[in-house]
C-alpha cells in the first residue's frame, strides 16, 4: 500500500507541475499583438489574389505569371495578418508572397513550414525566405539546413546565429534606426555569420514594429516615419536584392 501511495503522490506531483507549466505557457501565448487596420490589404483585387487559410496567407500576382516567391516568418507573438501591407506591396510588384502562420504565433514551433509552401508551388522557380525578429532568427535556422531550396534570405530587425557565410545565398538585413527591441550588440556580433556580400540596410526613423501593422510594441523606440514609409523602403530593398 505504501508503494502505491508513493507512486500516486509522485504521479499527482508530476501532473501538477505539468499543469502549472502548461498554464504559464498558454497564458503567455494567449496575449499577442493583433493586426491593426489590415482588412483592405487582405482583399483580392484585379491585380492580387489573396487566400487566407489556417496555415498561411498567400498573395498571388495576377498581372504576370510570377516565378519568384517570398516566404515570410512573422515575429514573436505577432498575428500573421499584421504583415499583410508588406506582402501586398511585394505581390503588386510581381513577387508571389506567402506569410506563414506559426503555432502559438511563435516561429520556433514552425521552423520547417517553408517546406510545405515550396513543395506545393512548383510554378515558382526561385524562392527567398524572410522573417521579422524571432521569425528572422528561425528563418536563418531553416536556411542553414536548406541552402539548395533558396536563393536568398531577408532579415528584418533580426540576425542569424547560424553560420551562413559560405552559403552562396543573397542576403539582406534591414533595421530601423530607432529600434529599441532588437539587441544591437547581438546583431553586430552575428554579422560574421552572413556572407561577405550581405546588404546591410538601416531605415532612418524606422523602429522595430513598423515592419508590420500591429501598433506600438512594448519597449520599442518611437518611429519618426510612418509605417507605410518603412514598409515601402523595406519592399524596395527586398526587390533590389531579388533583382540583383
The predicted-structure confidence for 48-74, as pLDDT tens digits, reads as follows 999 999 999 999 999 888 999 999 999
pLDDT number for residue 66? 92
More confident residue, 14 or 97: 97
154 forms beta bridges with 130, 172
Helix/strand/coil (H/E/C) assignment for every residue in 136-205: HHHHHHHHHHCHHHCCEEEEECCCCCCCCCCCCCEEEEEEECCCCCCCHHHHHHHHHHCCCCCEEEEECC
pLDDT number for residue 149? 97
Based on DSSP, count helices (H) and strands (E) in the chain, helices before strands: 6, 8
Interacting residues of 123 by C-beta distance below 8 A, sequence separation 6+: 65, 66, 67
Handedness of CA 72, 125, 121, 92 (dihedral sign): positive
Residue-wise pLDDT for 168-227, tens only, equals 999 999 999 999 999 999 999 999 999 999 999 999 999 999 999 999 999 999 999 999
Q: State yes or no: pLDDT of 3 exceeds 70.
A: no
176 forms beta bridges with 203
More confident residue, 80 or 23: 80
Domain boundaries, the chain: 1-31, 34-243
Q: Are 78 and 72 in contact (CB under 8 A)?
A: no
Q: What architecture is domain 34-243?
A: 3-Layer(aba) Sandwich (3.40)
Q: pLDDT band for 6, please (50, 70, 90 cuts).
A: low
- State the average pLDDT over residues 73-96: 98
C-alpha cell at 242: 531579388
Virtual CA dihedral for 206, 211, 217, 223, nearest 10 degrees?
A: 20
Give strand ranges (E) for 25-125. Answer: 48-52, 56-61, 68-73, 96-100
Report the predicted TM-score, pTM, of the whole model to 2 decimal places: 0.90
Q: Are 168 and 183 in contact (CB under 8 A)?
A: no
More confident residue, 28 or 228: 228
- Rounded Cα–Cα distance for residues 154 and 130 (Å): 4
pLDDT number for residue 213? 98
Length reported for the chain: 244
pLDDT number for residue 244? 87
Amino acid at each position: 500500500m505504501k508503494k502505491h501511495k508513493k507512486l500516486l503522490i509522485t504521479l499527482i506531483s508530476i501532473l501538477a507541475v505539468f499543469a502549472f507549466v502548461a498554464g504559464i505557457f498558454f497564458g503567455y501565448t494567449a496575449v499577442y499583438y493583433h493586426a491593426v487596420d489590415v482588412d483592405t490589404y487582405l482583399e483580392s483585387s484585379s491585380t492580387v489574389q489573396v487566400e487566407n487559410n489556417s496555415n498561411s496567407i498567400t498573395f498571388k500576382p495576377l498581372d504576370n505569371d510570377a516565378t519568384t516567391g517570398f516566404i515570410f516568418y512573422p515575429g514573436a507573438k505577432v498575428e500573421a495578418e499584421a504583415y499583410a501591407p508588406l506582402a501586398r506591396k511585394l505581390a503588386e510588384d510581381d513577387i508571389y508572397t506567402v506569410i506563414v502562420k506559426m503555432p502559438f504565433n511563435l516561429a520556433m514551433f514552425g521552423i520547417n513550414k517553408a517546406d510545405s509552401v515550396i513543395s506545393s508551388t512548383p510554378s515558382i522557380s526561385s524562392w527567398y525566405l524572410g522573417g521579422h525578429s524571432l521569425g528572422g532568427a528561425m528563418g536563418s535556422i531553416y536556411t542553414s539546413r536548406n541552402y539548395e531550396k533558396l536563393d536568398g534570405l531577408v532579415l528584418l530587425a533580426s540576425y542569424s546565429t547560424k553560420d551562413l557565410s559560405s552559403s552562396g545565398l543573397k542576403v539582406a538585413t534591414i533595421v530601423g534606426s530607432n529600434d529599441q527591441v532588437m539587441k544591437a550588440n547581438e546583431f553586430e556580433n552575428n554579422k560574421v555569420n552572413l556572407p561577405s556580400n550581405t546588404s546591410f540596410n538601416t531605415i532612418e526613423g524606422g523602429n522595430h514594429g513598423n515592419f508590420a501593422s500591429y501598433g506600438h510594441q512594448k519597449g520599442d523606440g518611437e518611429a519618426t516615419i510612418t509605417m507605410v514609409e518603412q514598409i515601402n523602403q523595406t519592399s524596395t530593398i527586398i526587390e533590389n536584392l531579388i533583382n540583383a
